[in-house]
Structure 1
Amino acid sequence: MPLPFLSVVVPAYRCAPYLRQCLLGLSASDLPRADWELIVVDDGSSDGTADVARGVADQVLRVSDGPRGPAHARNLGARAARGTVLVFIDADVVVAPTTLRGFATHFADDPTLGAAFGAYDDAPFEPDFLSQYRNLLHRYVHTLHPGNADTFWAGCGAVRRETFLAIGGFDAARYPRPQIEDIELGYRLREYGARILLDPDLQGKHLKRWTFGNMARTDLRERAIPWMHLILRRGEAMQRGPLNLRVREKLYTVFTALSVAAGLGALVLSNNALAYIAAFCVVVVLLGNAALLLWFGARRGFFFALGVAPLRLLYYAESGLGAAWAIATHQRHVGAVGLPPLAAHEQTAS
């Protein structure tokens, strides 16, 4: 039996409705089915997630002691894969019909390519403001700097299996829930010498519905804090690419923190000078985000862009809070978790 070129790995946890749409999207791919296999990893779901996958997937694997997070689930799928290239698709992402063929073409045409990833499309599934904002923001960032990248995205991304196994796969020990496990993998891919390609034409539609609560929690607990811990462990040298923490973004975080401090001071002390300083800092941050706001305005209108402005300020405030918390707790965090050395990752070699 000939081996498939691609092994599509979908980690899934209690997401039967999403998974059904995800698998329908994969089934509509214009890449011949003989060229790819489908592996769904059920991370210990208590609903009908595994039942949805049966009859569609070539393999349905189950994490018996789950949930253990998407990093572990992807590693489990990679161990069972037979293809040359691992394609990771999140269960709440519906790929475009051309996406799998696009991955296959990139890796077939360039034997030196180590990894590639795409972007969300510009038509998010959920119509509410927050869901549109979050998913379009992701697209904006990923369309801004196509080409060679220094990070990785596992929502719609692919890695040569040989390379993935050589660096030990995702760090499931550090990231037992959805966090920045793909970003961390991207850094190790680059350190290994692998070239990573960002191609925004490799698209998927995100089905997730965002609320204010899960947005704030994700930005602070699942991104800002663990990302700062990662920076502290690895050092500033990893921040080279445009998708990472640019100096400009750090400055906006500082200006937002100053605006909060000055604003509170103005309220407590009734000091007009502090109020002017707070307003000045806010203006600096919003002017720095002018290109983003104009992009949203062109696609969703003036009032939509107006609503994005305070969310950008909230994002920078959470980034600053997360960084401060991570710096204050870093040594305790490392000691309490008993983390292994950076080179020691869960091995996924078969």
Structure 2
Amino acid sequence: MIEEKKKQKITIKGSMINNCSDPKPTISVIIPVYNGGEKFQRCLQSLAKTSLNADEVIVVADGDTDGSWLLAENFGAKVIRLPKAGGPARARNLGAEAAKGDILFFIDADVEIYPDTIEKVVNVFTNEPDLSALIGSYDDTPGAENFLSQYRNLFHHYTHQISQEEASTFWGACGAVRKEVFLHVGGFDEKYRLPCIEDIELGYRLKKAGYSIGLRKGILVKHLKEWRPISMVKADFFCRALPWTALILRDRQLNNDLNLQYSNRMSVVLVYAKIGALLATPWLSQTSIIACIFALAFVILNAPVYQFFHNKRGLFFTLRALPWHWLYYFYSGLAFGIGFVRHWFQVQLTYRKA
């Protein structure tokens, strides 16, 4: 979290500060980047096409080796260059410390914003003075064209679009927060060294401190990341599900929102119930029928998302999405089980030491 930093070699170059007498809150866009490549270039290009310019754009080059910092400097951003990667949590905190805007707008280096994205963020905070933070949504036209990237990002879009407007957490890919609020809660937890759930953890602390977070579904960004089977499962399991489970158990907070909606929890139960019924088939042949019933219940429960996939990409895409959707709930449930066991052993160890 934000605290007095040890001395380190940091160079700051460039500036995009706009001087104006607009009574609306000022806004600083903060982007952590590590070897952003062509996607980062597209991110910067999208910032140049906005209907309302940010008061400043701060890029924190987190030990990159591909010249991303130079790309940002040529764009005209304020660049904070770190000699060694320390993770997006630390990078965002450093960007926030250097920011002069009233609003800190965090985006990832692999997203494109829409021309009206910044204007919408500023208008929301102007019109809703009691709102402390907000998150947006991925759009329904992901940048990467391969099937898995389309599926993953469309599923993310769908989840945000059906969720409550009073959000229960924060989102670093497209999330804005009043600077005074961000500093008050201590910023991102820098113990998360990899791209992980540092944004979710921040959201939990914001809510615990009594601050409001709004999900504004019309504030959109386009995700450019290309997902592959191993990278997707690895990120979901090790960087999301496992640490999120630990966070849930730590804070004892399981909200009916986003990926934790009741329908998602029931989907996990149905997946494992089906697997259990299939495993019992050699001894009880009737359980194959029970497995089919569980599978049918799963499909009915998730019919809205399948209808969404069908409307956006057609029947063939929807059929291809089915096994990945089942797999998602399988490894999500597995991660929760492992996380619960880990937590139980930690509690027992702590109890014995006491």
With normalisation by structure 1, the TM-score equals: 0.89
Q: Which of 148, 166, 174 lines up with 1:130 in the alignment?
A: 148
1:48 aligns with 2:67: yes
1:23 aligns with 2:27: no
1:205 aligns with 2:222: yes
In structure 1, distance between residues paired with 2:345 and 2:78: 41
In structure 1, distance between residues paired with 2:65 and 2:346: 31
Partner of residue 323, structure 1: 336
Change in 2 beyond 3 A, CA 1:2/1:241: farther
Partner of residue 302, structure 1: 315
In structure 1, distance between residues paired with 2:150 and 2:187: 32
Q: Which runs of 5+ in 2 are unaligned?
A: 1-17, 350-354
Tell me how large the CA RMSD over aligned residues is.
Answer: 2.0
1:282 aligns with 2:299: no
% identical equivalent positions = 40
Asked if structure 2 preserves the Cα contact closer than 8 Å seen for 1:149 and 1:241, the reply is no
Shift of 1:239: 2.7
Residues 80-120 of structure 1, C-alpha deviation per residue, up to 9 Å, x if partnerless?
A: 10100000010000000000001111112222110011111
1:145 aligns with 2:163: yes
Asked if structure 2 preserves the Cα contact closer than 8 Å seen for 1:151 and 1:243, the reply is no
Asked if structure 2 preserves the Cα contact closer than 8 Å seen for 1:146 and 1:199, the reply is no
1:117 aligns with 2:135: yes
Partner of residue 189, structure 1: 206
Change in 2 beyond 3 A, CA 1:153/1:139: same
Residues 199-226 of structure 1, C-alpha deviation per residue, up to 9 Å, x if partnerless?
A: 1211111100111111111221111111
Task: State how 1:101-116 maps to structure 2 within 5 Å.
Answer: 101-116=119-134
Shift of 1:146: 5.2
Partner of residue 346, structure 1: none
How many correspondences in the alignment?
Answer: 328
Change in 2 beyond 3 A, CA 1:270/1:332: closer
Shift of 1:242: 2.3
1:177 aligns with 2:194: yes
1:89 aligns with 2:107: yes
Residues 127-170 of structure 1, C-alpha deviation per residue, up to 9 Å, x if partnerless?
A: 11111111111111111135221111110110001000100111
306-315 or 141-150, which deviates more: 141-150
1:263 aligns with 2:281: no
Aligned to 2:325, the other structure's residue is in SS state: helix
Aligned to 1:149, the other structure's residue is in SS state: coil
1:227 aligns with 2:248: no
Aligned to 2:29, the other structure's residue is in SS state: strand
Asked if structure 2 preserves the Cα contact closer than 8 Å seen for 1:93 and 1:204, the reply is yes
Aligned to 2:143, the other structure's residue is in SS state: coil
With normalisation by structure 2, the TM-score equals: 0.88
Shift of 1:271: 4.0
